[in-house]
Structure 1
Amino acid sequence: MIEHHLDDDMLQQYAAGTLAEGWSVAVATHLALCPACRSKLSMLESVGGYFIDSEPADEAAVSQSWESLKAKIDAGQIDKVVPIKKGSWSDHTYPQPLRTYIDAAGGLKWRQLGRGAAQMMIPTSDETTTVRLLKIPAGQPVPEHSHRGVELTLVLDGSFSDEVSRFARGDVEMADDSLTHQPKADAGRDCICLAVTEAPLRFKSRFLRLIQPILGI
């Protein structure tokens, strides 16, 4: 049972197509796991579609746009559409479309961070966010930290607990510079998360701050 969902503002931006790619990867992955948020998204899209349909069409603009597109096609200026190739593996820990991004990065490649923790960077074309997979060993905490911006953490496997609550598969935690916490993976199972940040974390440990550029967190 998913208890921690996406906020309405992020869903509205996703429905409107205005959400940056990094956040969109996390939203789409959560939607693959969460029927409640899929239902809410459908409602938002229906409301948006109603208002679009209510607007009078500008026939001249439509005709001009079509003529312009047709001219580009005739001139060979439009590239062929290449369908997205779905992942060839079947680990349901990583739902689509996240699996496609992992495939594009060459498959799962964990980089050790120390004490059993690991991460994998997920490349996107979005320069405003950093997207990564994190693996926290069962029963182990991550270092205490706060944030320089917004951090979205989506649990894909296992669970973790912090000063806010407990988060299990499909749950989303949104954190900003008002929160200092030390998430700890629950005992019995490693916790795998998808994390999206808009700025590096602010670690309490001076040593971690010194090696932070090497770790890339």
Structure 2
Amino acid sequence: MADIKHHLTDQLLMGYAAGTLPEAFSLVVATHVSLCDECRSRLGEFEAVGGEVMMSAGSVSMSNDAFAATMALIANTPEAPQKRYAKGIFPAPLQDYVGGDKDDVRWRPVGGGVRQMILASDGGATVRLLHIPGGVAVPDHGHRGLELTLVLQGAFKDEADRFGVGDIEVANEELNHTPIAEEGEACICLAATDAPLKFNSFLPRIAQRFVKI
């Protein structure tokens, strides 16, 4: 198990438990929780509270055939095939999106040796895998909204701290930073954003429309 020092906020865990997060953020949260005992335990507490709230909620009237109709829908829903992937650096929630592990990723260059793969998601936010060679920096930028960055391989440092495997950085409008991958193996991250980044130099701003970040 990775030595995880940076965790999810209560707000994100509560949103995930309630099902109110965009799909992109839910994927990052699910992937982190699969790696982190502490956040998995906290999530269980929020889910238990949600269950108690549901149990104490008032009843509503339903049609006489509601139960039969629900059971018919369940019976007619085809069973999803079981997927088996080789063990790698991607936890199961992410492997289901990629269709495998890092060797199955369809990387596309975005400049400076950095590569990405945008994953399909709905709900007003985007999620991507980033492959940053050791020693390479992502251009200095700020945020117009929320950005979650989960490290899957390697590590990076920025003005806030160092982030290794399993760590998650929660960045908002208050943070301007220049993430730099540590020397050695490439840093692979899963990152979700709900608004375009604010790059502080001209060339990254020009390239932004093409790389959709």
Q: Following TM superposition, by how much is the alpha carbon of 1:82 offset from its aligned partner in structure 2, in angstroms? A: 3.8
Contact 1:85/1:100, CA 8 A, preserved across alignment: no
Alignment of 1:11-160 (within 5 A): 11-55=13-57, 58=59, 61=61, 63-64=62-63, 67-68=65-66, 70-71=68-69, 80-83=77-80, 85-86=82-83, 88-103=84-99, 107-124=104-121, 126-160=122-156
Q: Following TM superposition, by how much is the alpha carbon of 1:16 offset from its aligned partner in structure 2, in angstroms? A: 1.6
| TM superposition score normalised by structure 1 | 0.87
| TM superposition score normalised by structure 2 | 0.89
Opposite residue 134 of structure 1, the aligned amino acid is: L
C-alpha distance in 1 between matches for 2:207 and 2:53 = 51
| SS class of match (1:94) | coil
C-alpha distance in 2 between matches for 1:200 and 1:47 = 34
Q: Give the RMSD, CA atoms, in angstroms.
A: 2.3
Opposite residue 24 of structure 2, the aligned amino acid is: G
Opposite residue 153 of structure 2, the aligned amino acid is: D
Opposite residue 51 of structure 1, the aligned amino acid is: V
C-alpha distance in 1 between matches for 2:69 and 2:154 = 53
Residue from 145, 148, 159 that aligns with 1:163: 159
C-alpha distance in 1 between matches for 2:124 and 2:11 = 18
Contact 1:144/1:204, CA 8 A, preserved across alignment: yes
Stretches of structure 2 lacking an aligned partner (at least 5 in a row): none
C-alpha distance in 1 between matches for 2:51 and 2:185 = 43
Stretches of structure 1 lacking an aligned partner (at least 5 in a row): none
Contact 2:23/2:123, CA 8 A, preserved across alignment: no
C-alpha distance in 2 between matches for 1:89 and 1:148 = 36
C-alpha distance in 1 between matches for 2:186 and 2:71 = 51
CA offsets 1:176-212 (integer angstroms, 9 cap, x no match): 1211100000111210000000111111111121121
Opposite residue 15 of structure 1, the aligned amino acid is: A
Opposite residue 37 of structure 2, the aligned amino acid is: P
Contact 2:22/2:123, CA 8 A, preserved across alignment: no
Opposite residue 204 of structure 1, the aligned amino acid is: N
Aligned residues between the structures: 208
CA distance 1:99–1:51, shift in 2 (3 Å): same
C-alpha distance in 1 between matches for 2:123 and 2:130 = 20
> Hey, what does 1:213 align to over in structure 2?
209
> Hey, what does 1:6 align to over in structure 2?
8
| SS class of match (1:174) | strand
